[in-house]
Amino acid sequence: MEDHLKGLNDKQKEAATHTEGPLLIVAGAGAGKTKTITHRILNLIKNGVAPEKILAVTFTNKAAKEMRERIVSEIKKHTKGQDTIPFVSTFHSLGVYIIKENAHILGLTRHFTILDEGDSTTLIKEALKELGLDPKQNDPKKIKNIISREKGKFTHLKDYEERVSLSFGEGGEGSFKKIVAQVWNIYEKKKAKENSLDFDDLLLKTTKLLTENKEIRKFYQEKWDYIHVDEYQDTNEVQYLMTKLLSENNKNICVVGDADQNIYSWRGANLKNILNFEKDYPNTKIIILEENYRSTQNILEAANEIIKKNIYRPDKNLFTKNKIGEKIGLYEALDETDEADFVATKILELQDRITDATLIGSLSPRARGALPLGSSAYETPSQSTSVILSDIAILYRANFQSRILEEALLRYNIPYQVLGVKFFERKEIKDTLAYLRAALNPESLSDIKRIINFPTRGIGKVTLAKIFAGERESLPTKVKIKIDNFYKILEEIKEKTQNEKASDVIKFAVKKSGIETELLAGGEEDIERLENIKELATLALKYDNLKDGLGIEKLLEDASLASDQDSMMITENKKTETNAVKLMTVHASKGLEFKHVFITGLEDGLFPHQRNEEIKNAEDKEEERRLFYVALTRAREKLFLSFANFRTIFGSKQINAPSEFISDIPNNILEKEGEKGGIKTIYI
């Protein structure tokens, strides 16, 4: 066997050595898909393909970074004198790259602003007001989600307007669609005026460009001879079209995915893209990776039993050479407080902190009942194997569940992190980035509006309206001086971006803008905000090697496109350290793995989730099952499942039946938690 293929199993090797024509790799959870893609790319390079002719696309910056680092490592290990690497990015970053190279064709400048969710919603709210409509009666977020969903289907404004014109009647859905169409129209005009795009535009405009411009399409088809798409089951219509256009020249497209892990239909992911791949690409080679390297046999048995009930999937059965492992723990809680108490005390037990006499004495009787026999003997940590907190994850179906879990972790002094609290969404970070964006793109009215009066400059709404109307010269002299000074600050920041390192530009912007002085004069919270900005400058160090303003440009791009997983930050738990338990929704956990996993809230109506107004079809129900499958396969060694007989939701206490998923797991691999300490609770 060639040296660069060592360590691959037979199926992985088969995928890695396939070079010409379409390839579908059906990769089960933990089956080494990233390793397989990495070695396939390495094999292409070893067989004479120039690295720059290879494109690999995935969904998150985290996944792209991991893939890029692995590829670079393997290239260094197995090739000599190779100083170029493949183009590895997320779909959105690929869109940014193509748009920047063709900005003039799209009526943009290279320094266009990428609007985040909040900025987009603000513009939609302004559009509603211009139409004389009340944002409280017409939810801007709902309208934004509709526009986003339509763009994900490769629907353009004109298409939507034509469809709406066929809607009859003044009331109901037809009337609301007309409002959406009107808002969408104004929204697009506002973005054009600001030289800005939203997330969906990055994909829509790129795909539209490739569709309509034959020369540009041919350029990128010839630029990349081999295309790889990770997590193909998560692609929506516009992503599907983008990759189809890029690969239509020679059909050298390799997609990796797992229909069993399709959990994003609510944001446009189309399961049919992976199920119909061989119809779209005749002569497709299909390889199924079923050997799991992550989990124990018991965990995989549970996962296989859960997912085999789904119909919309290719047949696949995960297996492993790993140990059988521990049984899956099941805890029947009285209510959500009891459930959270169980999770916290079980974590303490895993961490060996449960042996402390004082701590045991502080536990509730029910929590003490969940402890193993012998805990009261206060054994020393050396007598058992302790667990690192960062190896533990607590998963839940809905965000509201985290509150009671956080309270329990705080009560027992357990450090934790919540996935989904974005560093780049903090006010002070957004303010600093807004100064940088406005310096590069003075047309970005959203950024100007955000920072023109921070720190306070005494500029009111009337003055702001005149500035945006292009009437700066008509302002009173004193006010005009303030405005001119503000724009002079932006010009100086822009000049620094061209000549200084990215980290130094941030330091300069914070000082020059007055943010530093403002925060230093504040209280403890303001000092903490300044510390966060300093962390931003530290983060910027990795962009310092990029010259001619590209460092700040790339920082702004990455900040705009950061996902939850890319920006996991510590919550307001002052004693939290890097070694901390992770809390997240099951959706956010996809792509991650942990030694110990708690899956909470396994109750009918919560997981599987059911909203009162929803009538789920068969595909919707299958997605909930896929979501549970994803949750199970995050665990390497031990799984804990829990449900509560009573749960307070929206202020009302509900009686719950256990989730149907629990009864689908074979009894021989389940064990009840909470009965070992001599306390048995019977619920009536």
Q: Looking at residues 393-413, what average pLDDT do you find?
A: 92
Residues 436 and 561 in one domain: yes
pLDDT of residue 1: 52
Residue 73 within any structural domain of the chain: yes
Residue 183 within any structural domain of the chain: yes
Catalytic residue among 150, 194, 231, 341: 231
- What would the pLDDT profile of 490-501 be if each residue is shown by its tens digit? 999 999 999 899
Q: Residue 436: which domain range?
A: 424-570
CB distance 161 to 177 below 8 Å: no
pLDDT of residue 615: 45
Is 540 annotated as ligand-binding?
no
- What would the pLDDT profile of 142-198 be if each residue is shown by its tens digit? 999 999 999 999 999 999 999 888 765 555 556 888 999 999 999 999 999 999 999
Residues 129 and 7 in one domain: no
Domain final residue pick, 570, 596, 621: 570
CB distance 359 to 371 below 8 Å: no
Total structural domains in the chain?
A: 4
For the domain that residue 447 is a member of, what is the CATH number? 1.10.486.10
Write the Ramachandran bin of 591: left for phi over 0, alpha for psi from -120 to 50, otherwise beta: left
**pTM for the full model?**
0.83
Domain final residue pick, 508, 540, 570: 570
CB distance 371 to 677 below 8 Å: yes
Spatial separation of the C-alpha atoms in residues 393 and 581, rounded to whole Å: 6
Confidence of residue 562 (pLDDT cuts 50, 70, 90): confident
Query: Helical H runs in 452-566?
Result: 461-468, 477-499, 502-513, 515-520, 524-539, 550-561
Residue 526 within any structural domain of the chain: yes
Spatial separation of the C-alpha atoms in residues 259 and 159, rounded to whole Å: 30
Spatial separation of the C-alpha atoms in residues 348 and 354, rounded to whole Å: 5
For residue 103, give both structure tokens.
Answer: 């900005």
Catalytic residue among 13, 40, 368, 634: 634
Query: CB 330: neighbour CB atoms within 10 A?
Result: 20
Residues 220 and 122 in one domain: no
Q: Which residue has the higher pLDDT, 578 or 156?
A: 156
CB distance 642 to 330 below 8 Å: yes
Domain final residue pick, 570, 587, 620: 570
CB distance 387 to 596 below 8 Å: yes
Residues 471 and 558 in one domain: yes
Residues 221 and 190 in one domain: no
Q: Which residue has the higher pLDDT, 342 or 7?
A: 342
Residue 130 within any structural domain of the chain: yes
**Bridge pairing between strands 646-649 and 652-655:** antiparallel
pLDDT of residue 422: 67
Q: Hey, is 54 helix, strand or coil? A: strand
Q: Is 368 a catalytic residue?
A: no
Q: Is 313 a catalytic residue?
A: no
Place of tokens 């690295």: 51
CA 658 to each of CA 31, 226, 346, 632, 662: distance values in angstroms, whole numbers, following the listed order: 31, 48, 21, 17, 7
Q: Looking at residues 556-570, what average pLDDT do you find?
A: 66
Q: What are phi and psi of 584, to 5 degrees?
A: -165, 160
Instruction: Of 165, 200, 184, give the one whose Cα is nearest residue 127.
Output: 184
| E strand segments, 116-274 | 196-197, 226-229, 253-257
Instruction: Count Cα neighbours of 650 within 13 Å in the Cβ-side half-sphere.
Output: 1
Spatial separation of the C-alpha atoms in residues 125 and 119, rounded to whole Å: 10
Q: Is the dihedral of CA 416, 299, 617, 620 positive or negative?
A: positive
Which of 61-70, 107-116, 237-246, 309-318 is most confident?
237-246
Spatial separation of the C-alpha atoms in residues 398 and 114, rounded to whole Å: 28
Residues 638 and 490 in one domain: no
**Bridge pairing between strands 416-422 and 581-585:** parallel
Supply angle C-alpha 110, 114, 118, rounded to 5: 160
- What would the pLDDT profile of 183-205 be if each residue is shown by its tens digit? 999 999 999 999 999 999 999 99
Rounded to the nearest integer, the mean pLDDT of the chain is 86
Instruction: Of 212, 170, 163, give the one whose Cα is nearest residue 184.
Output: 163
Is 118 annotated as ligand-binding?
no
Residue 315 within any structural domain of the chain: no
Q: Which residue has the higher pLDDT, 426 or 86?
A: 86
* Secondary structure (DSSP) of 232-253: GGG--HHHHHHHHHHHTTT--E
Q: Is 230 a catalytic residue?
A: yes
Q: Which residue has the higher pLDDT, 620 or 87?
A: 87
Q: Looking at residues 577-606, what average pLDDT do you find?
A: 91
- By CB atoms closer than 10 A (0-12, 13-18, 19+), residue 651 is exposed
Spatial separation of the C-alpha atoms in residues 525 and 504, rounded to whole Å: 24
Is 32 annotated as ligand-binding?
yes
Q: What are phi and psi of 647, to 5 degrees?
A: -145, 135
Residues 431 and 394 in one domain: no
Q: Looking at residues 506-529, what average pLDDT do you find?
A: 87
Instruction: Of 416, 440, 425, 435, give the one whose Cα is nearest residue 579.
Output: 416
Is 172 annotated as ligand-binding?
no
Confidence of residue 406 (pLDDT cuts 50, 70, 90): very high
Residue 299 within any structural domain of the chain: no
Is 34 annotated as ligand-binding?
yes
Residues 587 and 657 in one domain: yes
pLDDT of residue 171: 52
Q: Cα 384 from chain centroid? A: 36
Residue 107 within any structural domain of the chain: no
Q: Is 163 a catalytic residue?
A: no
Confidence of residue 256 (pLDDT cuts 50, 70, 90): very high
Residues 437 and 489 in one domain: yes
Place of tokens 């309509």: 212
Supply angle C-alpha 487, 492, 497, rounded to 5: 125
Catalytic residue among 230, 338, 391, 673: 230
Write the Ramachandran bin of 583: left for phi over 0, alpha for psi from -120 to 50, otherwise beta: beta
Say whether pLDDT at 681 is over 60. no
Catalytic residue among 207, 261, 337, 565: 261
Residues 137 and 183 in one domain: yes
Spatial separation of the C-alpha atoms in residues 345 and 355, rounded to whole Å: 11
Bridge partners, residue 79, by sequence: none
Q: Residue 372 contacts by C-beta under 8 Å, 6 or more apart in sequence?
A: 349, 676, 677
Query: CB 585: neighbour CB atoms within 10 A?
Result: 20
Instruction: Of 280, 299, 371, give the one whose Cα is nearest residue 30.
Output: 299
For residue 238, give both structure tokens.
Answer: 């516009």
For the domain that residue 601 is a member of, what is the CATH number? 3.40.50.300
- What would the pLDDT profile of 351-376 be if each residue is shown by its tens digit? 875 444 344 444 554 555 555 444 43
pLDDT of residue 583: 94
Residue 78 within any structural domain of the chain: yes
Is 29 annotated as ligand-binding?
yes
- What would the pLDDT profile of 379-402 be if each residue is shown by its tens digit? 333 334 567 999 999 999 988 898
Write the Ramachandran bin of 586: left for phi over 0, alpha for psi from -120 to 50, otherwise beta: alpha
Spatial separation of the C-alpha atoms in residues 56 and 16, rounded to whole Å: 14
Residues 159 and 261 in one domain: no
Instruction: Of 84, 61, 62, 81, give the one whose Cα is nearest residue 71.
Output: 84
Least confident of 50-64, 205-219, 225-239, 603-617: 603-617
CB distance 418 to 402 below 8 Å: yes
Q: Is 231 a catalytic residue?
A: yes
Say whether pLDDT at 520 is over 80. yes
Q: Looking at residues 245-266, what average pLDDT do you find?
A: 92
- By CB atoms closer than 10 A (0-12, 13-18, 19+), residue 198 is buried
Q: What are phi and psi of 56, to 5 degrees?
A: -130, 125
Residues 451 and 390 in one domain: no
CA 374 to each of CA 346, 359, 367, 505: distance values in angstroms, whole numbers, following the listed order: 14, 15, 15, 59
Q: Is 335 a catalytic residue?
A: no
pLDDT of residue 210: 97
